[in-house]
């Protein structure tokens, strides 16, 4: 497996493929706003000197979904949640016939000139963490105000609220269809920017709770 992800957009889309149908193809998610600027950095993270002839990606995945129990399904994981977190290798194929140059150019366009299709290849679970002692479903409104006031000075925890239309059966993949939300995720993971920083123009609604000013594309 490569030591670094090759493209940010495919990493964000990997969960959709692993939890979706392994025999289907999906379009590469819309380009996040911050990558649409003429001076934007390349979406491709893989250095040119280590690129192979194929743009297929070997990605590390982490999931708390339980194994698929339906014998008729070809999915690696089902809809139930497990008491433990699994991790492994998932191969994402980008095609058809996409070169690195084409992928780099098209992945930075607001309106693409061709389709970039993603399909799921081999999935290999490499390990699983021990079972959790208990399961918790935490919502933003469940965080007590006293706890928020305690956590705020530590500057380590933020709750980001997205209010928008559900884009899948479970409501998990909104970040793959909304360029502003995917851009916010990348600003955090790739550049370490905090809520309210340039590029993360969020509205603060409580000591550690923020929301997006817009939820539509």
DSSP conformation letters of 48-108: GGG--S---EEEEEEEEEEEP--TT---SEEEEEEEEEEEEEEEEEEETT--HHHHHHHTT
pLDDT at 195: 92
**Residue recorded with tokens 């008491």:** 83
Give the pLDDT confidence of 29-67 residue by residue, as tens digits: 888 888 888 877 777 666 677 677 788 878 878 888 888
What ranges do the domains of the chain cover? 8-128, 140-211
pLDDT at 21 over 70: no
Question: In 3D, which of 128, 64, 52 has the Cα closest to residue 91?
Answer: 52
Q: DSSP class of residue 7?
A: B
pLDDT at 173: 67
Give the pLDDT confidence of 190-202 residue by residue, as tens digits: 889 999 999 899 9
Please name the residue ranges forming H helices in the chain. Answer: 8-19, 100-106, 145-151, 179-191
Task: Determine contact, residues 22/120, Cβ cutoff 8 Å.
Answer: yes
Alpha carbon distance 158, 53 (integer Å): 41
């Amino acid at each position: 497996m490569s030591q670094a992800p090759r493209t940010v957009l495919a990493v964000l889309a990997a969960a959709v493929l692993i939890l979706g149908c392994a025999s289907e193809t999906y379009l590469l998610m819309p380009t996040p706003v911050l990558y649409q600027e003429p001076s934007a950095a390349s979406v491709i993270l893989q250095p040119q000197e280590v690129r192979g002839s194929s743009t297929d990606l070997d990605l590390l995945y982490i999931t708390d979904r339980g194994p698929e129990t339906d014998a008729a399904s070809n999915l690696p994981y089902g809809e139930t949640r497990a008491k433990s977190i699994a991790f492994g290798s998932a191969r994402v194929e980008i095609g058809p016939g996409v070169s690195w140059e084409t992928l780099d150019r098209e992945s930075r366009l607001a309106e693409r000139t061709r389709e970039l299709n993603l399909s799921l290849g081999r999935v290999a679970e490499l390990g699983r963490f021990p079972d959790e002692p208990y399961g918790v479903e935490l919502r933003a409104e469940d965080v007590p105000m006293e706890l928020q006031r305690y956590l705020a000075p530590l500057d380590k925890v933020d709750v980001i609220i997205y209010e928008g239309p559900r884009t899948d059966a479970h409501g998990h993949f909104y970040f793959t269809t909304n360029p502003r939300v995917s851009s916010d995720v990348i600003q955090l993971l790739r550049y370490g920017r905090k809520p309210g920083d340039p590029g993360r123009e969020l509205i603060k609604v409580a000591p550690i709770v923020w929301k997006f000013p817009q939820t539509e594309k």
